[in-house]
């Protein structure tokens, strides 16, 4: 008979239940019918704790429990000390035996694969039990069977990391304290962090009452993690210090790495740079004992909190070298995000190839679109950056909204500032400031307050604040050496990408350097942004009602025919940035479908539009390619109120998903207020007709959504008003 593993036996029992033939099923699975019948009987009779059968040479349960309790109650105890205590109590057990028991209970040699988990590696005897339980749970068991499954799980020395889904199916009331902690760990990302905090705290207290210090520390780490998500760094550090005191001089590198990392991030939140760097150095020393991919990732993560992305990438790259097999998507995006913040756009593009399949339904879509937005913003492509910011907000969920709100709001302000709309940029920052305060995002709040001229950051020693401080000093002195100091600091700390975004808030410095004939060391397209080039025309086209056009924030008092209006809107929506183009044939087909000489009609229309918009003729030209003639934007920016409407609607939905109805309501109303009448009035070309219908459908959907939410939130007044 060939050896049959537990998974095959489970499938054999399932096959027998379906077929009803013992002999045929046993033959099919190449196993004795007596063996199959034994397993069928066990299933029919229900489960019992004997499913978990220890090898014959293991110590008795009473001995195992005593050895385990020594480590639980005295985490710092050594094997030698434990052996002496056990000998006095009459237990004869070797050093290896003690170590083996502690290892089975996950009290030593913890896996560095996830330093924050309460679960363990999968042991051979646990595998057989887990596979059988998986099979039982797949058969829609009764409550009585589930209770017996819980008894078996409670009897396991430790729960394996790869099988968290099993615990989610077992009611908490049937589980032991240890399994409850494992279940809380498994459901951490799915529960409100305030609930996780309360449960972890109760478990920690229960373990302490039982005298199990080791498990109370594990529960405490889960408690700190929930506090970390809730942005309460003072409480984190207090609990962290308490757990360290309880552990005394325990030399368990995995637990020490978890506590050190969390202490480092808490100090970053408190802007205590000196302490943050101290804990970072301790984490780096622990790598000597934890030469594992995930340990290097944790150190890299801590360096991103400190905002030293150059150092973070060094550790991420080391983790990449230690990786076996394919890179997991989460780590892939983590390196991409660090690279784009470091200004290494070439590497970011290589890490985000077109074949990287991250669609709108992927759990990683928000991070992916945010990275793409930062990439295009750093390259000066404002239109694509806006598109990806919209996508990021469109898919942001409540649990992740806090992580993205600062970056998206800051990037939207950067785009407005880059276009020379300084007033609008300040409005965006001011509008989101109360949310930063509410979510306790103090680092980001202080940066925003500094850009609004309300905060002094000279005393904050975190690299990102030091870099901006250097820029502020350079703008005051207008000295090239001070500017280069800021630029070199950004390069050395891996902050060049952030530097490229924040530099738009220091336009006087860049224009001064350009006037001196010096190279500011920025991407070429950034230097051609309107904030640095007053000669570049920026048009704001408002067509959600009567057409109104602004040139460089000044109202143009002009009279236009319907076709000219339609053509300008067409340009604004399809080629609103330098480098964008439209096929000439498409323009012919839409605006002059029955004309015998559409080229002369187009030429005449372009002359009239350039004259009325005061647009230099060389900035809007027809390419000379024979078969593929295009109308090309050579250096103008066109924005519209419809793009503002779409963006406001997306922000409103994101705020609504995050449970921020007060802010969402304001965003909805500001979006609807952009409409002053019917768009595309008296414009009858095919494209205008299609766009009018699409825009009105968007408006109708937005209104219906807003009215529904008003009724849910008992705000009938706004519902009637709209």
Query: What torsion, rounded to 10 degrees, do the Cα atoms 520, 524, 528, 529 define?
Result: -80
Q: Is 55 exposed, middle or buried (0-12, 13-18, 19+ CB in 10 A)?
A: exposed
Question: Any idea how long the chain is?
Answer: 722
Percent of the chain whose pLDDT exceeds 70: 95
Looking at per-residue pLDDT, the higher value among 39 and 176 belongs to 176
Residue with tokens 């209104």: 703
Q: 226 pLDDT exceeds 60?
A: yes
Q: What is the pLDDT of residues 309-358, one digit of tens each?
A: 999 999 999 999 988 776 688 899 999 999 999 999 999 999 887 767 78
Q: How far apart are alpha carbons 229 and 427 in whole angstroms? A: 28
Nearest to 331 by CA among 317, 347, 350, 349: 317
Average pLDDT over residues 548-564: 94
According to DSSP, residue 197 is labeled H
Q: How far apart are alpha carbons 186 and 164 in whole angstroms? A: 5
Q: Tell me the angle at which helices 253-269 and 442-451 cross, rounded to the nearest 10 degrees.
A: 30
Q: Tell me the angle at which helices 193-210 and 213-229 cross, rounded to the nearest 10 degrees.
A: 160
Counting Cα atoms < 13 Å in the Cβ hemisphere of 686 gives: 9
The pLDDT value given to residue 300: 97
Q: Residue 632 forms beta bridges with which residues?
A: 581, 621
The radius of gyration of the chain's CA atoms, rounded to the nearest angstrom, is 32
The pLDDT value given to residue 1: 39
Q: 51 pLDDT exceeds 70?
A: no
The pLDDT value given to residue 361: 84
Burial 474-487 (b: 16+ CB within 10 A, else e): bbeeeeeebbbbbb
The pLDDT value given to residue 50: 47
Q: At a CB cut-off of 8 Å and minimum separation 6, what does 245 contact?
A: none
Q: 363 pLDDT exceeds 90?
A: no
- Pairing verdict, β 554-555 and 548-551: antiparallel
Percent of the chain whose pLDDT exceeds 90: 73
The pLDDT value given to residue 2: 44
Q: What is the pLDDT of residues 157-195, one digit of tens each?
A: 999 988 999 999 999 999 999 999 999 999 998 898 999
Average pLDDT over residues 60-88: 93
Q: At a CB cut-off of 8 Å and minimum separation 6, what does 391 contact?
A: 360, 365, 369
The pLDDT value given to residue 59: 80
The pLDDT value given to residue 358: 85
* CA 289, chain centre distance (Å): 29
3-state secondary structure 33-63: HHHHHHHHHHHHHCCCHHHCCCCCCCCCHHH
Q: 5 pLDDT exceeds 60?
A: no
Q: 14 pLDDT exceeds 80?
A: no
Angle value at C-alpha 298, between 295 and 303, nearest 5 degrees = 130
Q: What is the pLDDT of residues 473-524, one digit of tens each?
A: 999 999 999 999 999 999 999 999 999 999 999 999 999 999 999 999 999 9
Average pLDDT over residues 272-281: 97
Query: What torsion, rounded to 10 degrees, do the Cα atoms 110, 114, 117, 121 define?
Result: -50
Q: How would residue 709 be classed by pLDDT, with cut points 50, 70 and 90?
A: very high
Kindly write down the DSSP assignment for every residue of 577-592, as one continuous string.
STT-EEEHHHHHHHH-
Q: How far apart are alpha carbons 276 and 225 in whole angstroms? A: 17
Counting Cα atoms < 13 Å in the Cβ hemisphere of 527 gives: 14
SS3 621: strand
Q: Is 400 exposed, middle or buried (0-12, 13-18, 19+ CB in 10 A)?
A: middle
Helix (H) or strand (E) holding 77: none
* 500 C-beta neighbours (distance < 10 Å), count: 23
Q: How far apart are alpha carbons 606 and 587 in whole angstroms? A: 12
Looking at per-residue pLDDT, the higher value among 684 and 609 belongs to 609
Q: How would residue 653 be classed by pLDDT, with cut points 50, 70 and 90?
A: very high
Burial 403-416 (b: 16+ CB within 10 A, else e): ebbbbbbbbbbbbb
Q: 307 pLDDT exceeds 50?
A: yes
Q: At a CB cut-off of 8 Å and minimum separation 6, what does 684 contact?
A: 562
Evaluate whether 278 touches 266 at the Cβ level (below 8 Å): no
Evaluate whether 269 touches 277 at the Cβ level (below 8 Å): no
Nearest to 157 by CA among 86, 71, 88, 80: 71
Nearest to 680 by CA among 667, 671, 693, 670: 693
For CA atoms 286, 287, 291, 297, give the dihedral sign.
positive
pTM, whole model, 2 decimals?
0.89
Q: How would residue 421 be classed by pLDDT, with cut points 50, 70 and 90?
A: very high
Q: How far apart are alpha carbons 598 and 105 in whole angstroms? A: 82
Nearest to 676 by CA among 641, 709, 627: 641
Q: How far apart are alpha carbons 452 and 470 in whole angstroms? A: 17
Residue with tokens 């729960």: 159
Q: How far apart are alpha carbons 399 and 403 in whole angstroms? A: 8
The pLDDT value given to residue 439: 87
Average pLDDT over residues 595-611: 93
């Amino acid at each position: 008979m060939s050896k049959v593993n537990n998974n095959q036996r489970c499938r054999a029992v399932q096959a027998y239940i379906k077929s009803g033939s013992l002999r045929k099923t046993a033959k099919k699975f190449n196993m004795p019918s007596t063996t199959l019948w034994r397993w069928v009987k066990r299933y029919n009779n229900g489960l019992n704790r004997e499913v978990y059968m220890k090898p014959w040479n293991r110590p008795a349960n009473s001995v195992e429990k005593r050895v385990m309790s020594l480590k639980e109650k005295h985490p710092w105890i050594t094997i030698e000390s434990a052996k002496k205590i056990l000998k006095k109590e009459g237990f004869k057990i070797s050093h290896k035996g003690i170590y083996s028991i502690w290892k089975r209970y996950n009290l030593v040699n913890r896996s560095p694969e996830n330093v924050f988990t309460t679960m363990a590696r999968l042991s051979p005897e646990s595998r057989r039990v887990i596979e059988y339980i998986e099979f039982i749970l797949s058969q829609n068991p009764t409550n009585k069977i589930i209770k017996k499954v819980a008894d078996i799980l409670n009897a396991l020395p430790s729960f394996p990391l790869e099988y968290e889904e099993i615990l989610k199916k077992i009611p908490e009331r049937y589980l032991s304290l240890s399994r409850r902690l494992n279940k809380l760990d498994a459901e951490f990302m799915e529960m409100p962090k305030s609930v996780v905090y309360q449960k972890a705290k109760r478990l920690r207290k229960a373990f302490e009452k039982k005298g199990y210090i080791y498990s109370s520390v594990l529960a405490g780490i889960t408690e700190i993690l929930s506090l970390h998500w809730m942005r309460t760094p003072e409480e984190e550090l207090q609990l962290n210090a308490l757990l360290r005191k309880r552990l005394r001089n325990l030399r368990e590198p995995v637990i020490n790495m978890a506590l050190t990392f969390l202490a480092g991030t808490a100090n970053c939140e408190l802007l205590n740079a000196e302490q943050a760097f101290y804990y970072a150095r301790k984490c780096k020393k622990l790598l000597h004992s934890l030469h594992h991919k995930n340990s290097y990732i944790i150190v890299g993560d801590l360096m991103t909190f400190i905002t030293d992305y150059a150092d973070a990438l060094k550790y991420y790259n080391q983790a990449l070298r230690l990786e076996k097999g394919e890179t997991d998507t989460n780590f892939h995006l983590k390196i991409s995000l660090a690279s784009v913040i470091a200004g290494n756009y070439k590497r970011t593009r290589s890490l985000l190839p077109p074949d990287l399949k991250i669609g709108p339904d992927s759990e990683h879509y928000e991070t992916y679109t945010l990275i793409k937005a930062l990439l295009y913003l750093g390259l000066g492509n404002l239109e694509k950056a806006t598109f990806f910011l919209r996508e990021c907000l469109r898919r942001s969920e409540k649990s992740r909204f806090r992580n993205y709100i600062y970056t998206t709001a800051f990037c939207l302000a950067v785009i407005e500032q880059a276009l020379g709309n300084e007033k609008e940029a300040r409005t965006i920052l001011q509008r989101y400031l109360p949310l930063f305060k509410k979510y306790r995002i103090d680092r980001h709040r202080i940066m925003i307050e500094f850009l609004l001229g309300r905060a002094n950051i000279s005393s904050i020693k975190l690299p990102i604040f030091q870099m901006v401080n250097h820029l502020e000093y350079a703008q005051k002195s207008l000295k090239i050496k001070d500017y280069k100091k800021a630029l070199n600091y950004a390069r050395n700390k891996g902050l060049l990408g952030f530097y490229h975004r924040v530099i738009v808030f220091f336009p006087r410095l860049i224009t001064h350097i350009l006037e001196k004939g010096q190279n500011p060391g920025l991407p070429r397209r950034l230097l051609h942004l309107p904030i640095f080039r007053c000669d570049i025309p920026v048009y704001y086209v408002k067509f959600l009602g009567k057409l109104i056009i602004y040139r460089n924030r000044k109202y143009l008092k002009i009279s236009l025919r319907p076709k000219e209006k339609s053509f300008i809107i067409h340009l604004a929506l399809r080629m609103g940035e330098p480098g964008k183009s439209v096929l000439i044939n498409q323009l012919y087909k839409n605006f002059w479908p029955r004309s015998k000489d559409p080229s002369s009609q187009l030429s005449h229309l372009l002359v009239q539009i350039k004259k009325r918009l005061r647009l230099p003729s060389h900035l809007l030209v027809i390419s000379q390619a024979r078969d593929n003639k295009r109308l090309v934007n050579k250096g103008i920016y066109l924005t519209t109120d419809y793009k503002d409407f779409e963006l406001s609607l997306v922000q409103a939905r994101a705020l609504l998903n995050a449970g921020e109805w007060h802010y969402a309501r304001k965003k909805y109303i500001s979006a609807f207020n952009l409409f002053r009448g019917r768009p595309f009035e008296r414009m009858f070309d095919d494209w205008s007709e299609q766009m009018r219908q699409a825009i009105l459908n968007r408006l109708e959907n937005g209104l219906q959504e807003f009215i529904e939410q008003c009724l849910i939130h008992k705000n009938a007044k706004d519902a009637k008003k709209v």
